[in-house]
Chain A
C-alpha cells in the first residue's frame, strides 16, 4: 500500500492511497505538475506532506533505501557508463527476453542503442532492483506499438507478482483505459478522479 497524504508541490496537492497491485494513472496538461508529484513521492525534491509505504514513513528511513523501494522511472532514460551491463546490479534474463532482448544486450554500448531500446532497457534496469512500488513517468512515450504492448504486459505481470502499487503518468487515454484500475486528472491545481 502506497499512502500519499497532503503531498504538495507547486500548486498541486495530492491525497491518494494505492492498494497493493493497483495501477493508478495520472493525467493532466503539460506543466501541471505530474512529473514533479512523482519526483516528490520518490523524495527527489523538497515537498510538503507525507508518503508511506505499507505504513512506513518515507521520512523515517534513509532516502536511498526509500528510493530503492519506491522507484521512479523518469520520462527520459539517462545512462552514465559506456556499456548497458554496467548499469545492472544483477542479470535479469527472463524479463530481458520478454522485452525482446537477448543476453548479448549487456555488452552493447549505450550510445549505439536507439531511444526506444534505451527506454525499454531503463524499464528493465528499474525492475532489476525489485522495487516495492513503481512511479512511472510516461514509460512508453518513445516506443513503437509492439513495444508498448510488451511493456504494458510486463508491468502488469510485475505488479501482480509483487503486489506492487503503481502510479503511472500517461498522456494516452487508450493506454489509461487498458492499464488503469483508477484514473486521476490534474485540473488547475486539483487532482480529481475520472469516473468511467
Chain B
C-alpha cells in the first residue's frame, strides 16, 4: 500500500471542523472559541516550521545540526518542566534540575537505542534520531515535571513530619523515603498506564502513523514496543535522578530541611 499524500485542501477541510466548533462555542457563549482558534493556529505554525526544519535537516545530515536541534528540544522541555511546578527550586537549580535529569536520561537512552538497537549509518541519521528523541523528551518531561512537583509540594506540606524524623536522628534519605517513593510512583503513572492500555484501549500514535504511511502492521508494532520500553526506561531513570537530586537539594550539608530554597 502506498502513502496517500495530503494536499492543503485536505487540511483546510479538517480546519473547517475546528471553525465549526468555534462557531458553536460562539453561539452557545461558551467563550472557548478564542483559545481554540489560537491553539489551532499555533499547532499549524509550529508543525509547519518543524516540518521545514526537518526537511532542511534531512538534506544536510551532519552531527552538528542534529545536535543543535536536540539541544533546542531539550532546553524547551527543561523550561516546561520548571513552568509546571508549583514550587520549583530558586535560582539556576529550578531550571537545571529537570533539564539535567532529562539530558542524562533521554540522551543516553536515545543514543543507546540508535547505536545498539537500530544501528543505522550514520547513527545520528535525523529521520530516526529526532523523532525518537522527541518522543523520549515528551514523555520524560511529563514524568519529571509530575515527580518534582510532587516532591517539593510534599516537602512543603510535610515539613513538620520530616523535621520530627530528623529530630529523632534519621538521615535525610530515611526521612524523605516516603516522599521520594510517592513522587517516583506519581511520575511513572502516565507511562505505566500507556503501556497497560496500548493496543487494547488505544493505538499508540507512532504505530498509527507508521501504519497510515504503509508500514506492515507487525513492523509498526515492533517499533512501538521498542519505543514504549525506551520511553519507560528513560522516564524512569530521569525520575530517579531528578527526585534523588531534588531530595538532596532540599537538605543542606547539615541535613536540615531547607524550604527557603523553594520559590
A interface with B by C-beta (< 8 Å): 39, 42-46, 62-65, 67-68, 71-74, 76-80, 125-126, 129
Q: Which residue of B lies closest to A68 (CB)?
A: B169
Whether A64 contacts B256 by the Cβ 8 Å rule is no
Chain A, interface SS category: loop
Known: A78-B161, A80-B161. A63 touches B255 (CB 8 A): yes
Whether B256 contacts A129 by the Cβ 8 Å rule is no
Whether A67 contacts B169 by the Cβ 8 Å rule is yes
Q: What's the Cα separation between A79 and B158 when bound, in Å? A: 10
B147-180 near A? 1/0 per residue, CB < 8 Å: 0000000000000110111111111000000100
Given contacts A64-B166, A64-B255, 13 further A-B contacts (CB under 8 A): A43-B256, A46-B254, A62-B255, A63-B254, A63-B255, A65-B169, A67-B168, A71-B167, A71-B168, A74-B167, A78-B164, A80-B178, A126-B168
Whether B168 contacts A125 by the Cβ 8 Å rule is yes
Q: Tell me whether B252 is interfacial, beta carbon within 8 Å.
A: yes
Whether A74 contacts B160 by the Cβ 8 Å rule is yes
Whether B168 contacts A44 by the Cβ 8 Å rule is no
Whether B160 contacts A76 by the Cβ 8 Å rule is yes
Q: What's the Cα separation between A180 and B40 when bound, in Å? A: 73
Q: What's the Cα separation between A5 and B164 when bound, in Å? A: 25
Q: What's the Cα separation between A67 and B164 when bound, in Å? A: 11
Known: A63-B256, A64-B255. A72 touches B167 (CB 8 A): yes
Which has the most chain B C-beta neighbours within 10 Å: A45, A63, A74? Answer: A63
Whether A129 contacts B160 by the Cβ 8 Å rule is no
Number of interface residues of B (CB under 8 A): 17
Q: Which residue of B lies closest to A46 (CB)?
A: B256
Q: What's the Cα separation between A155 and B32 when bound, in Å? A: 66
Minimal beta-carbon separation of B257 from chain A (angstroms): 8
Minimal beta-carbon separation of B259 from chain A (angstroms): 11
Which has the most chain A C-beta neighbours within 10 Å: B163, B169, B257? Answer: B169
- Hey, which chain B residues are within 8 Å of A79, CB to CB? 161
- Hey, which chain B residues are within 8 Å of A72, CB to CB? 167
Q: What's the Cα separation between A73 and B164 when bound, in Å? A: 8
Minimal beta-carbon separation of B90 from chain A (angstroms): 16
Q: What's the Cα separation between A65 and B212 when bound, in Å? A: 63
- Hey, which chain B residues are within 8 Å of A63, CB to CB? 166, 254-256
- Hey, which chain B residues are within 8 Å of A62, CB to CB? 255
- Hey, which chain A residues are within 8 Å of B252, CB to CB? 46
Minimal beta-carbon separation of A136 from chain B (angstroms): 11
Whether B160 contacts A71 by the Cβ 8 Å rule is no
Whether B167 contacts A64 by the Cβ 8 Å rule is no
Provide a sorted-by-A list of 24 A–B residue pairs whose CB atoms are within 8 angstroms.
Answer: A39-B163, A42-B167, A43-B254, A44-B256, A44-B257, A46-B252, A46-B256, A62-B255, A63-B256, A65-B169, A67-B169, A71-B168, A73-B167, A74-B160, A74-B163, A74-B167, A77-B164, A78-B160, A78-B164, A79-B161, A80-B164, A80-B178, A126-B168, A129-B169
- Hey, which chain A residues are within 8 Å of B165, CB to CB? 80
- Hey, which chain A residues are within 8 Å of B164, CB to CB? 74, 77-78, 80
Minimal beta-carbon separation of B157 from chain A (angstroms): 12
- Hey, which chain B residues are within 8 Å of A42, CB to CB? 167
Q: What's the Cα separation between A39 and B169 when bound, in Å? A: 13
- Hey, which chain A residues are within 8 Å of B169, CB to CB? 64-65, 67-68, 71, 129
B240-263 near A? 1/0 per residue, CB < 8 Å: 000000000000101111000000
- Those 8 A-B pairs whose CB atoms lie nearest each other, nearest first: A68-B169, A78-B164, A63-B255, A72-B167, A63-B254, A78-B161, A67-B169, A64-B171
